Structure 1
Amino acid sequence: MKTDRIMWGIVLLFIGGVLLLENFNIIEFYWGRVWRFWPIFLIIGGVNILFTKNKSQIAGIISIAILVITLGILFYKGQQPRQKEVTISSHTEESNDLDIPRDVTYSHPYTDSASVKTILNISGGGTSFDLKGSTDSLIIADVQRKLGNFSLETNKTDSITSVSFKMKGKSKWNMGEGGNDVDLKLNANPIWEVHMNMGAGEVDFDLSGFKVREFNFDGGAAALNIKFGDLLPITDVNIKTGVADVKINVPVASGCRIKTKTGLSSKDFTGFTKLEEGLYESPNYKTAVKKIFVNLDGGLSNFEVKRY
């Protein structure tokens, strides 16, 4: 019995089944609840290697049973919404007890003209990023920190300002109740170029009110919900993921072209016309004055692009 092939087949069926049930709104699955359990797949691989040496049918059945039980637990945990923890604000930034949540605010003032381009670099695993609207400052980041430390650095060259918001310390793959929550606010005047690099995490950005020239995401296990506006003639969106749930919303008035390189990923591009394998366009792509170009690259992900 080819136990290894059966086991990885079950894993693919599990992930595909969950994504399908989500697409039909049968269940609400919170991927952020299960990302922190990703090392369990290493354990499953190890168990499989150990039992592979034993050619007996009983050993194969034991391996498959362990996998099915594990996936059942993950399926249950993934349907439980993540609850906010109570923040203990009396502990200062200098405290060494990293197990206690602390609220920390990072900010940088806005003093430039509306034509200035701002490059925003964000990195930090095990973190939920949520865009909470605009601010008179250039950027504000309210952090409920449970693991690691963050830093905010800015650098200006000619008419370009670079902002780097980074997590330092703990593994970028940590996720779940032990992760960090970051609420961001951005100034609506600059032209933004956003670069995000993270291992496991969640991103919920409504960028419809911001001039976003480019949005780039490079991550492993992540859940993304991004909404773009039509304040610029061209917006480039580049998403590269491993295992992820990606939802992108684009304005119906903008022409949109989607290019995909998605392996075993599922795709839902409602309202788009498929021109060829891996290439899709909105009906108004050629006539629209403003355009959004979306490039998707994922190994085993769920990609969804909708027009609003």
Structure 2
Amino acid sequence: MENKITSGIWFVFIGLILLLHNLNVIDFNFWATLKFWPLLIVIIGINLMVQNKTYGTYIKIGANVLFLGWILFVGLTSRSSDWREALFTNRNVNISDLDGDEHFASEVSLPLDSLTTEAKLEFNGGAGTFNLKAEASNNLIHGINKDNSSGLYVKGTVSDSMPKVELNVKPMEKKQKKAGPTDITLNSNVLWNMELNYGAATIAGDLSTLRVKTLEINTGASTMSLKLGMPQSGVSSIEIATGASTIDFNIPKDAAVRVKYSAFLSSNSFEGLETKGKGVAQTQNFDAATNKYEIQIDGAANTFSIHRY
């Protein structure tokens, strides 16, 4: 009975925080709370010590409520930049300091070299709203923020003998926590290897005409909805590392797809895929297909869906 009460408190707390954050009622810094994980050991120790003791139930409830209260305080009062800086630490990217504000603009682009057939994209966006598109044009990439609330910085280099595009987006006002609506257009005639790094953002788009070779998504507490086209490059690899996120992929009904996923506190719905074992689902035509999607999902407390069109 005691365990049910404390477990219920935790589930109610986590559910409310995720709901309020996703509805933009609060701006909760999940990353800032992780450094206090040793306190969980203290809480578990207290629960064991007072097990079956007089007033033990009240002590357990009090200790858990105090701990969650502290987590609530830290998550609500920590600067949003803590989340973005920590998210990009492994890539040595700090979008708050990249190249100075003078290099950021409301509209950026890189021209398409007629010899370019394959390219890499590293997108660093923090929190905000981003719309991805694909079209054939004279640009390799084009980005625009129409209300001038956000700045964009783009840099082109060469990596592994192919063009690499680094696109960074951040709010222009320091007191602004999220980047404003930003449109990002990729050239549909190019085969893309993409790495998307962003925080508590909303990202959506129609990439049904885009040729995707690899797609790596690193995010947290975000919402993503993407429409993909048929795979055109052998095994198109999609790797997703996230927590407390909602991700929805629309994939053609004839596309071969296999998903490997973690189900910890997560909800998954894969239309047209059959379960092939623990944490694996795939379409009937996956093994025989030449071109296919291989999707790997790591994280917890996610809602991941695949719809077919």
Between the aligned partners of 1:122 and 1:295, the Cα distance in structure 2 is 20
Unaligned runs of 5+ in 1: 19-28, 71-92, 95-101
Between the aligned partners of 1:203 and 1:266, the Cα distance in structure 2 is 20
Match of 2:187 in 1: 187
Match of 2:253 in 1: 252
The alpha-carbon deviation at position 150 of structure 1 amounts to: 3.4
Residues 198-277 of structure 1 correspond to what in structure 2 (within 5 A)? 198-230=198-230, 232-234=232-234, 235-277=236-278
Distance 1:269 1:158, change over 3 A: closer
Residues 1-308 of structure 1 correspond to what in structure 2 (within 5 A)? 5-12=7-14, 14=16, 31=22, 33-34=24-25, 36-38=27-29, 60=62, 104-113=106-115, 116-134=117-135, 135-143=137-145, 144-146=147-149, 149-157=151-159, 159-167=161-169, 178-230=178-230, 232-234=232-234, 235-308=236-309
More helix by share: 2
The alpha-carbon deviation at position 226 of structure 1 amounts to: 1.6
1:51-95 Cα distance to aligned partner (Å, 9 max, x none): x9x9895995xx59x98xx9xxxxxxxxxxxxxxxxxxxxxx86x
The alpha-carbon deviation at position 15 of structure 1 amounts to: 7.6
Between the aligned partners of 2:293 and 2:125, the Cα distance in structure 1 is 27
Identity of aligned residues (%): 23
Give 1:116's aligned amino acid: T
1:188-232 Cα distance to aligned partner (Å, 9 max, x none): 111101101122111113211011101110111111112211251
1:268-288 Cα distance to aligned partner (Å, 9 max, x none): 112211010101011222333
1:143-186 Cα distance to aligned partner (Å, 9 max, x none): 24536x43210013574000001246899xx997x432210111
The alpha-carbon deviation at position 13 of structure 1 amounts to: 5.0
Give 2:27's aligned amino acid: R
What secondary structure is seen at the aligned counterpart in 2 of 1:123?
A: strand
Between the aligned partners of 1:295 and 1:175, the Cα distance in structure 2 is 34
Between the aligned partners of 2:160 and 2:230, the Cα distance in structure 1 is 27
Length-normalised TM-score, structure 2:
0.69
Contact 2:21 2:28 in 1 (8 A): no
Contact 1:203 1:223 in 2 (8 A): yes
Match of 1:26 in 2: none
Length-normalised TM-score, structure 1:
0.69
Between the aligned partners of 1:296 and 1:35, the Cα distance in structure 2 is 27
RMSD (Å) for aligned C-alpha atoms: 4.2
Between the aligned partners of 2:229 and 2:212, the Cα distance in structure 1 is 8
Between the aligned partners of 1:142 and 1:293, the Cα distance in structure 2 is 31
Contact 2:253 2:272 in 1 (8 A): no
Q: Would you say how many aligned residue pairs link Structure 1 and Structure 2?
A: 259
Between the aligned partners of 1:189 and 1:157, the Cα distance in structure 2 is 19
What secondary structure is seen at the aligned counterpart in 1 of 2:10?
A: helix
